[in-house]
Every structure is written in C-alpha cells, then in structure tokens.
Structure 1
Amino acid sequence: METLTLPLSREADAFRAAAVEPFWDRIHRFLKLERDAAGRGMSVGGMEHVLNSRHDAIRWDAPILTVDNAQPARRTALTGQGMTLVPSLFASRPFLIDSHVGWQGLPILVYNITPSPETAPAMWGSHEGESALRALLGRTRADILDTLRETRSTGQVADRLRISSPSASKHITVLRRAGFVTTARQQNSAVHSLTPLGEAILG
C-alpha cells in the first residue's frame, strides 16, 4: 500500500496524532484487508461487482456511477482513464473527488468503512483464538470462515467440511448477514469470500 504524505493544518495534525497515529498499525492492516477484498471481488465479478459491493450508496450502472451522499447532484466525467478507490475509517459517507483535484489526474472515490460500535470490538479487540471463535459462532460456522480464506463456491465449502450443500448455504447466509462473508455470482454458481470484518475476526 503506497503512502502519500501531504502537509496538514495544525488542527488536522493534532487529530492525526490523537486518532490515527496510536492505531496506525491496526488501521493499515484493516485497510489492506479491504484492498485485498476488493481485489478478490475484481477477479470474481469485475469492476461492476467491486463498485456495487463497496457501499450501499455507491451504484455502478455502466456508464453511470452514482454516489448518493445527500450532496448537490453533479457530474464527473469517467472516460476510461481509471479511478482511485480510497476506503476510509473516518469519512461519514462516500464522496467523489474530480480528476482535476485527484491524485495523478484520476478521479478518487472515497467510501467509508468505519466499523459500527457492535462490530468494533471483534475487529479491534484481542482474539482468544480458534476455541473462542467456535464458542461464539459455533464449530461449523467458524470452520466455514476458515475455509473461506480462499474464495470458494457453496459446493466446495460443503465438500471440504463434509456437510450438505443446503446446510452450507444456510450457514453462509447467516455469516453474510452478520457481515463476515460476501457472495457473488460466477457463471451458474454462487462464490463466497471473506469481508474485511471476516478476515479481521479470524486474525
């Protein structure tokens, strides 16, 4: 992950020192997980899947990218030159920075991935290991999470854990609703991978 250093105002520098610097290692790790998840999504479903799965307020219906952030409507030309995706733990809503302002002349799409109060302890807190995760989720769901360190179809998950496909599907649905798993269509199969939260809870 490339680091870009820019001059900060006194207030912004004070915020960085208090809210970012002490936690930078964890922030950097979580942002890397999000980047890796986006990369896996790209290989599974292409740019359409990546953009439509990053945030509920972001919709890609080629050739139109809509960012619903309660700001006045405006158009930004996306002419195939690329776009920089920037996940943020501090943004309150997604927003788009025009190419003439953005880094290296590319438009920048910033989207918030701030954990909720309910999920933050699982994301940032210490983990007690595999036994604690199994106690929390149950053995089968914990094993499914571990299996999904690599993107797999429902049938592949069922085969690896020696359970039925309907049973695997039900457990994966629960994990997806909890925010640990994301699902995409690949030809005639549903394929599943971990979200950043799913990766974080595995440690």
Structure 2
Amino acid sequence: MPRLEFSGPDLGRVRFAIMPFQETLKAARGLGLPVAPAGLAGWRHTALSRLPAAARPALALCGAHPRHLPDFLTPQPPSGGQLTFDDELAAALADPGLPVEDDTQAFRSVLRTPSRVVEDLLAEPDRGRRALTASFVALHRAVLAADWPRLHAQLAADVAERARTAAQHGVEAMLAGLAPGLVRWSHPFLEYAGPPAPDHRLAGRGLVLVPSMFLTDAVHRQLNDRQQPMLFYPARTALGFWRDDRAADGRLAGPVGGARARILRLLAARPRGTSELAAELGVAPSTASEQLAALRRAGLVTTTRSGRQACHEPTALAWSLLDVYIG
C-alpha cells in the first residue's frame, strides 16, 4: 500500500473540506466506469436514464481511469468558509494560470486507451475547458443539484463525527478509523489502498481530508508540489445512504413509510440524537422529531434523555421488522 509520511507538525495541520465540485467528479466517475462502484448500481441506473447528452464529455473524462484525473480539476480548497459548486468549478476550469496542458499530458500517460476528451483538451486547451465547464454544469444539474442538500448533510455529519473523535481521542485515533479496509494508520505513516508507490512525505504541509458519498470503493489522493496534499475517502454513511434509499423505496417502506424506513436504518447502525438524524436526513430537526414521535407511538423507537440531549434507538419490534424486510 502507498503511504503518506507524517511529521509532528503534519498532525496539527490536518483539516477537512467539503467540496461540491469534487462530488460531481466522483459522481461522474461512478457513471463513467464500466462497472458501478459498490452500492451505486441503483443510483447509476436512475441517473443514466436522465443524463443529457451535454454531460457525456464529463463522464468520458472521469471514467477514463478509476483512480486518476488531471490535477487541475482539483483546486486547493480555501482554509475557511464554504465552497460553492460554481466557485470550485471556476477555480478548476477558469483560472488561466493553471498548467492545464502539463496536467493533461500527465493524465494521458496513465491511460490504457486513448480518450477523445483528453486529445481535444490537449489540442485546444481553452476551448476544451469551456466545453468541460458546460458538461459538468449539465451533469450537476441533471443528477446532483436536487439531492445536494441531503448529500451535504451526510458529508457535514461525517466531518463532525471525525472532528469529535479527534477532539476526544486525538488526531491519530481519528486517522486510524478513517476508512477501515482502505486506510491504515501506523505512526508515522498513513497507508491507503492503491498500487505500490514511493512514500510521500507531507513535510509539514499537513493533509486535507475530503469525504465523498460517491467514492464508496476506494480512496483517491491529490499529491503535487503546488498544493496541500489531499485524501478523498468514503464518507462514513456512504454505503448505508444508498442502501437506505433503496430500502425507502422497497419493502420496509410499505409498513412504516419511506422516511421512517431511513430513520430505522440509520438507528440500526448506531443510536443517534435528533439533530444528528436531521442532518443526515437533510431535514429540519422539527421534521425529524415528528417522525421519531410517530415511530415511538408505533413501538419502533425508544428514546432516552440526559439533560437536554435525547438519544434514539430501535426497539426489539423494530429489529424484527428490519430482519424481515431488509435482512
């Protein structure tokens, strides 16, 4: 496994970012690869059915290689403030100072088969960037924009959970649990799944950790001399989120309703508070509270309180329903 080597200062310079355009890239990868990444088959089938022709170049580029993209497509996230899709897209494709040709040539060198989009980008970089901008906008509007509040809530919940772990148990403990099976922490190295490569020294630059709801099967990295290193990893709820969507449309939705089916699936993974559930569902806390009250009346959820904090978990009856309808 390739490794990132941490020095003492690097542990103090680990930060998180939520990057909406990068989620569009990961979604395009999920649509463009020959086989859907783990858990995304149902979403992919639906998304492809409503994909406009204008989005095809974005899919072709992001599906050309399972792990790599031209570096210019991943701009450095700012150290503070929220990124918007438009701002991040402009930073990736509208900055005339970016080494588009060099990055595209480097990407071309790792491809096994030629790519028309890559060749067009090399032949006419400015025109190619404009075409890609239009393609990514079309893709985002068609398959992500409507769901972005829910996706963002999942990503924000992931970052909050990692931050709590780091605050309570230290950054190394957080890194150790980042993505079991894909990432392994053994001081001073963070190992991640991928083909063999020389160790990469962070050398005091730290690391930006970026959760993804579409990167369910791998970790990706962005390592170059002009940016702070970045590691993209599966959000903690990514696989469960897509399974929950299928469950909400499936058999469990019959007896309890789609929204309540998703709540039971989330609580089956671990007990949660009302605010955390609301964030993961992408709804107002009052809406989550109403759904929880209905589940309590049905004998499916039990709630314990400590001061002003409430913690919800499934009852024995709920576990029986989950076993019968989902397995």
2:230 aligned partner: 108
- Is 1:130 the equivalent of 2:296? no
- Is 1:19 the equivalent of 2:19? no
Structure 1 regions of 5+ residues with no counterpart? Answer: 151-156, 158-170, 179-203
Query: What amino acid maps onto 1:65 in structure 2?
Result: L
Q: State the TM-score, normalizing by the size of structure 2.
A: 0.38
Query: What amino acid maps onto 1:62 in structure 2?
Result: H
RMSD of aligned alpha carbons: 3.4
* Runs of 4+ displaced beyond 4 Å: 123-128
2:186 aligned partner: 61
Correspondence 1:51-200 to 2 at 5 A? 51-56=175-180, 57-68=182-193, 70-92=194-216, 93-100=218-225, 105-113=227-235, 114-116=238-240, 117-120=242-245, 121=248, 122=262, 124=281, 129-134=291-296, 135=298, 137-139=300-302, 143=303
CA contact (8 A) 2:149 2:282 kept: no
Partner Cα distance (2:295, 2:172) in 1: 33
Looking at secondary structure, tell me which structure has more helix per residue.
Answer: 2
Paired residue total: 146
Structure 2 regions of 5+ residues with no counterpart? Answer: 1-80, 94-131, 249-261, 263-279, 323-327
Q: Decide which moves more: 123-132 or 52-61.
A: 123-132
- Say which SS state the counterpart of residue 144 (structure 2) adopts: helix
- Say which SS state the counterpart of residue 177 (structure 2) adopts: helix
Q: State the TM-score, normalizing by the size of structure 1.
A: 0.58
Partner Cα distance (1:14, 1:82) in 2: 34
Q: Percent identity?
A: 26
- Say which SS state the counterpart of residue 66 (structure 1) adopts: strand
Looking at secondary structure, tell me which structure has more strand per residue.
Answer: 1
Query: What amino acid maps onto 1:84 in structure 2?
Result: V
Q: Decide which moves more: 52-61 or 4-13.
A: 4-13
1:120-176: CA deviation from partner (whole Å, max 9, x where unpaired):
44255985522344457541xxx25x76x97xxxxxx9xxxxxxxxxxxxx9xxx9x
1:3-46: CA deviation from partner (whole Å, max 9, x where unpaired):
05124524333221122211122222221111111111111111
Query: Relative CO higher for 1 or 2, CA cutoff 8 Å, sep ≥ 6?
Result: 2
Q: Offset at 1:96? A: 1.8
Query: What amino acid maps onto 1:58 in structure 2?
Result: V
Q: Decide which moves more: 119-128 or 106-115.
A: 119-128
